[in-house]
Chain A
Amino acid sequence: MKRLVPLLLIVTLALAGCQGWQSALDAHGPAAHTLANMFWIFVAVLGTVWFLTMAALLLALRRRRPVDADPLVTDPGTEKRMTMTISVAIGLTLVTVITFTGLSYAAQKVLYSHKDGALTLLVTGQQWWWEVTYEDEQPSRVFTTANEIHIPVGEPVLIKLEASDVIHSFWIPNLTGKMDAIPGRQNQIQIQADRPGLYRGQCAEFCGLQHAHMGIVVIADTREDFERWRDHQVSSAIAPNDPERQRGMEIFLSRPCIMCHQVRGTDAGGKVAPDLTHVGSRRTIGAGTLTTTRGNIAAWIVDPHGVKPGVNMPTIQLEPDEVQPLASYLEGLK
């Protein structure tokens, strides 16, 4: 009994791990449901096979055989039973394999069929963050953001996947399976969320030093909330009106920040690092590495390599009294 308690605890904890904002078994979309169902069918069937095999093995081990049995003497009855058993086993194996193949095929049909979605996104994997472009028929409504995707609930969203440097893999476990992002070609995958919520994704193809810190957050909202968010994201950054943030903006525009980052509505037009126009409205910075707070932004600017060693954000020359206005400016870019 005493041994059973820790065992039960471990099992409970392991099962609790299935719930959460980044779990393929906590399905919140049609594709993820298909995958989760497949997983449970495979676990059930293969688990049964395993238990049967183990039971047969134990039986065979425990059954005592006469010590002086002559292996050359065969009994026709036993031989017949053995042939039957093995034939049935082979037959069942064939049926299982064929059923599994059929199931996989059906699941792939579901996973790779694309419905016409109202929304198309272009997601580009980069070392080590995700660039997200919301496409639209009107060019003025196209905008770019990073590391955070907002989608309307219950609607299929088509995601075009590209990569700029090495192979990455886009994976939102709660919503769908993995899809590689490969330089020089475009892959497509569809996601759909059944319920409003927050789903975390992760690069699933080793892509270098900070592969582990290459997260993405998907936020599923109602259609109205989503439209409100999109209208806001399309707009340029609002110029700050308090002196501290104005100073922060001056610092931002006169430092190396502008070589890579873009803030729409200012002169900063770099295209190789995350768009910071509305960085303050995003939940995380550094591709899911830190939550967006003024302190974290300051830490990220002062010592990016302490937070995320090897990241392409350089350490720059800043005076101590310039950090606060700069962080405050960026935090205020809602």
Chain B
Amino acid sequence: MKVYLVLPLVAFALAACEREDREYRANPMTAESQEKIALVPLSAGPSGPTEYRSGLGKEYEENAFHISQGQRFYTWFNCNGCHANGGGGSGPALMDDRWIYGGQIENIVQTIREGRPNGMPSFRRKIPDDQIWEIAAYVRSMGRNVPKAAAPGRKDDMSPGPAEQRRPPGQVIDGGQVPPSAQMPQ
């Protein structure tokens, strides 16, 4: 009888190990992931635009190690220079629900890799692909679009708000305005 109780407990405990599964050695041969995303529903011809999401994003979004690595790279690579701690500065805010170029992780990866008009530089070949995915996962965690268990806890530095883990679950609204501060001077 007791065995039936213990076994699920052990299974649950072991399942929790997945939360921080650490993959140090990204395979460089698959370095550039081949996600395809569409920013608008328009395309040439009768069929809609083709999209391809490999599911790689889930691996990054639901893994606490990847997200906290992303958090580290976010300051190392000076993302906070323009986006501040997610509240935005000369770049748009990242912790809100508005996503000019889409808020799915694949969209954010593409934004980092390719760059966007009005200031976002392209980091292709400057940041290794797995690190781009990690940063994107962290950016997703700012609006808490990742599971609570995987989102980062309190930072060591001063923080403008509650830790990502304590924020209410967010939603993603595609579209949105380029803020006046990020627009080119007319």
Residues in chain A within 8 A of chain B (CB atoms): 183-184, 254-256, 258-260, 272, 303, 305-306, 309-310, 314-318
Contact = CB atoms under 8 A, between A and B. Distances in A.
B126 A259 contact: yes
Nearest to A311: B24
Interface string B11-48: 00000000000101110100110000000000000000
A314 B76 contact: no
A314 B125 contact: no
B69 to A, nearest CB: 9
Contacts of B131: 256, 314
Given A305-B24, A315-B25, A315-B26, A259 B125 contact: no
Contacts of A317: 28, 31-32, 125, 128-129
Interface residues of B, number: 17
A310 B24 contact: yes
B10 to A, nearest CB: 27
B18 to A, nearest CB: 18
Given A306-B25, A310-B24, 6 more contacts: A260-B76, A310-B22, A314-B131, A315-B28, A315-B128, A317-B128
A256 B126 CA distance: 4
Contacts of B106: none
19 contacts: A183-B156, A255-B126, A256-B125, A256-B126, A256-B127, A258-B126, A259-B76, A259-B77, A259-B126, A305-B24, A306-B25, A309-B24, A309-B25, A310-B24, A314-B131, A316-B28, A316-B128, A317-B28, A317-B31
- 6 closest pairs, A vs B, by CB? A305-B25, A317-B31, A272-B76, A305-B24, A314-B128, A317-B28
A305 B26 CA distance: 10
Contacts of A272: 76
Contacts of B76: 259-260, 272
A303 B24 CA distance: 11
A272 B76 CA distance: 7
A256 B132 CA distance: 11
B130 interface: yes
Contacts of B128: 256, 314-317
B123 to A, nearest CB: 8
A180 to B, nearest CB: 17
A258 B31 CA distance: 18
A314 B131 CA distance: 8
A184 B125 CA distance: 34
A257 B145 CA distance: 31
Nearest to B131: A314
Interface string B127-163: 1111100000000000000000000000010000000
A107 B25 CA distance: 47
A316 B131 CA distance: 10
Contacts of B156: 183-184
A254 B125 contact: yes
Contacts of A255: 125-126
B26 to A, nearest CB: 6
A305 B127 CA distance: 17
Contacts of A306: 25
